[in-house]
């Protein structure tokens, strides 16, 4: 069984990139801790989910190598995220219009 090294060499991410992503995740974790002590009122959940979404995106793009995947893989990634957004949106509309 031959190993496809062309694909691995074509999309090789430099170690420095991983260091920068790790630093960004560390800073975002510190921001998460910092904002947990601040009362934003009804915006608490939006701030928390925004920081968590950025962190999850960094992990998925760089550590899970989604940045270099083909279109079909992106369909399988974005479709469940769209369904999640639909579920959250319908739940919010149900809560607000009761």
User: Does 57 share its domain with 75?
Assistant: no
**In terms of residue numbers, what domain contains 82?**
69-98
Domain count, the chain: 2
Under a CB-based contact definition with an 8 Å cutoff, are residues 57 and 63 in contact?
A: no
**Which runs of consecutive H residues, i.e. helices, occur in 1-98?**
5-10, 15-36, 44-58, 71-96
pTM for the structure as a whole: 0.72
pLDDT tens figures, 21-63: 999 999 999 999 999 999 998 888 889 989 999 999 999 999 8
pLDDT tens figures, 60-97: 999 888 888 898 989 999 999 999 999 999 998 998 88
User: Does 80 share its domain with 54?
Assistant: no
């Amino acid at each position: 069984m031959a190993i496809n090294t062309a694909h691995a060499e074509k999309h090789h991410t430099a170690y420095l990139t991983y260091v920068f992503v790790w630093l960004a995740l560390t800073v975002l974790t510190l921001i998460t801790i910092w904002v947990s002590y601040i009362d934003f009122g009804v915006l608490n959940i939006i701030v928390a989910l925004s920081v968590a979404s950025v962190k999850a995106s960094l992990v998925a793009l760089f550590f899970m190598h989604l940045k270099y995947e083909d279109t079909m893989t992106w369909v399988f990634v974005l479709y469940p995220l769209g369904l999640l957004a639909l579920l959250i949106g319908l739940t919010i509309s149900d809560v607000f219009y009761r």
